[in-house]
Chain A
């Protein structure tokens, strides 16, 4: 275990049982399940941003929800400051929830439409007894300052704000309880580019000012490169590569990471290519392929890729990658 690891995830698995038809039940077929997480391990250091990227169905949102215990994982461990959090109950669990907060993609869905922004923030302060009741109003004002919203925003309701402002409210709400870690699940995906940049800057600024750790979950590779110190690339419920962001972007070791990076539309019209970055479709997490989950789409797959599941390890030195064919890192 590393010194700085604040939040650690070990071999986390989560499956969602699917509905079974009567015919299947009568024939005695086993109930099918969607394997959302198939053994995920990663760690977040103090004050760092871990970017988690992947496409739909890769399990990134399930991971976020397991981290804040909105879902209970089936197996594995989540450790915060070295202590297992999955068994926590009562006051200890409340304390964990205060220290690890979540920011959602759509703040409109996570804010109570009938509470003014001031009341919503005050509620968080009161529930977790962050400040004396008499100091609540001042603290609400300070939180609005922190996310660059005007103080009079406290008297307004969520529907009166634009998307970007609403996400600021969502961030203020998460910060109210003075967390150490923020799990942000696609926090700017619903926003226009120009507004997206405002919110991304706010994350960067707050992290520097408050020393927060951030788990930034997104499908947007351009963005993740911009905000994260380290990166975890997920495919079909597994981490396939994880390492220092710039290193991974400069010399990706997993063929899926390479394809993902190549598929991002470049703003530079001179870098245009006519070749597809990767063929084929994302497999269903209900029936994941055997062996390496990426082998049906992989341009370099060998026979053993179809049968043997590659482990995530530092093969030939370098950062961890789950590919039988990964060579030594090229930089």
Chain B
């Protein structure tokens, strides 16, 4: 990569396999990611592409039937190799995570204020009065009105959007350097999603916090992220600046995905779907995993996996057809 600052997070050859009753599933198959301080990276892909598993693997939050290999270097230290105790000290303090469903992360029988205070107690040296003050500041920061009164409220008394805000407040308690966000707005209505995305964007700017945002919605990435990595069948197939990848994609899958989306101003025109389905991950894959669905596929695509190669400054893709995409040069 060209003139990129030293990464704070560097994921190298990450692989996650799940042992299931149907055999071994390769959910993540050699993922590389790099994140500079303050970077906002979108990790997009469809169901089963491995985007959420990648995120959870970084913080070792996967179930016991998962086997993880590779490296996830956080400021030089490998999160995957360090003792559990060291990792626990980093989780929440330097790297925080938020989830799609806040109710699964919030404790239903403890008031929100106490949950924020717990996080502050674990990660800061504040005394009880300081923690209360900070908790109010945090609720205020994430846009919860009349913060002081809401401290005593329980999660079920909050709406979906407010719960998501409360979870973000807890995640921000220790002023983390990196926020991992797993589909944080997928369950929300579009006007509330808009508010939460704008909030995350503002916070990452104001606090200089780096962010990895996992989503299936290309629009969400376009609105919030500077860089994007596109995943397919457990692999990153393309990575680069959002404005490059979305206007001049370097991978045939990114191209097809962008074209399959409904765009405004073309009422009642048929969409351009991607034919077929993603491959099964419990069988060996040869060549590029997108080959059977790809309009640009040629002989070697199904046999030989394309290397990750630069297509433009800061943009890389693993596609044999990179240079044919812009010209729409489809094999006969």
Contact = CB atoms under 8 A, between A and B. Distances in A.
A193 B267 contact: no
A41 B162 CA distance: 33
A267 B191 contact: no
A135 interface: no
Contact of B46 (A192, A245, A249, A260): A192
Contacts of B270: 201, 204-205
Given A192-B216, A193-B216, A282-B192, A275 B258 contact: no
Contact of B219 (A249, A267, A276): A267
A266 B223 contact: yes
A194 B195 contact: no
A262 B195 CA distance: 11
A278 B193 CA distance: 11
Interface in A239-270: 245-246, 249, 259-260, 262-270
A323 B296 CA distance: 50
B159 to A, nearest CB: 5
B260 A263 contact: no
Interface stretch (B81-89, B132-140, B272-280): B272-280
Interface in A191-244: 192-198, 200-201, 204-205, 219-223, 225-229
A194 B218 contact: no
B198 A275 contact: yes
B114 interface: no
B242 interface: yes
A277 B194 contact: yes
Contact of B195 (A219, A222, A270, A276): A276
A192 B45 CA distance: 9
B297 interface: no
B266 interface: yes
Contacts of A276: 194-195, 198
A119 interface: no
A197 B274 contact: yes
B192 A274 contact: no
B273 A195 contact: yes
Interface string B270-310: 11111101000000000000000000000000000000000
B271 A201 contact: yes
Given A264-B219, A274-B198, A193 B246 contact: no
Given A222-B261, A226-B266, A197 B272 contact: yes
A197 B260 contact: yes
Nearest to B277: A162
A265 B220 contact: yes
Contacts of B223: 265-266, 269, 272
Which of B202, B216, B223 has most chain A Cβ within 10 Å? Answer: B223
A262 B223 CA distance: 12
B46 A281 contact: no
A313 interface: no
Contact of B243 (A201, A246, A263, A269): A269
B231 to A, nearest CB: 13
A11 interface: no
B257 interface: yes
A56 interface: yes
Interface residues of A, number: 49
A55 interface: yes
B33 interface: no
A265 B219 CA distance: 5
Contacts of B257: 193-194
Nearest to A223: B262
A267 B243 CA distance: 10
Contacts of A281: 159, 161-162, 192
Interface in A275-324: 275-279, 281-282
B268 A226 contact: yes
B269 A55 contact: no
A56 to B, nearest CB: 5
B264 interface: yes
Which of B191, B192, B247 has most chain A Cβ within 10 Å? Answer: B191
B201 interface: yes
A267 B263 CA distance: 8
B203 interface: no
A197 B273 contact: yes
A198 B161 contact: no
A279 B198 CA distance: 11
Contacts of A195: 273-274, 277
Given A193-B261, A225-B264, A282 B189 contact: yes
B147 interface: no
A42 B189 CA distance: 24
25 contacts: A164-B277, A193-B46, A193-B216, A193-B257, A193-B260, A194-B257, A196-B273, A197-B261, A197-B262, A198-B275, A200-B273, A201-B273, A204-B268, A226-B262, A226-B267, A226-B268, A228-B267, A246-B265, A246-B267, A262-B194, A263-B191, A265-B219, A270-B243, A276-B195, A276-B198
Interface of B: 46-47, 159, 161-162, 189-195, 197-198, 201-202, 216-220, 222-223, 242-243, 246-247, 256-258, 260-275, 277
Interface of A: 55-56, 162, 164, 192-198, 200-201, 204-205, 219-223, 225-229, 245-246, 249, 259-260, 262-272, 274-279, 281-282
Given A205-B270, A222-B262, 4 more contacts: A196-B271, A200-B271, A281-B162, A282-B192
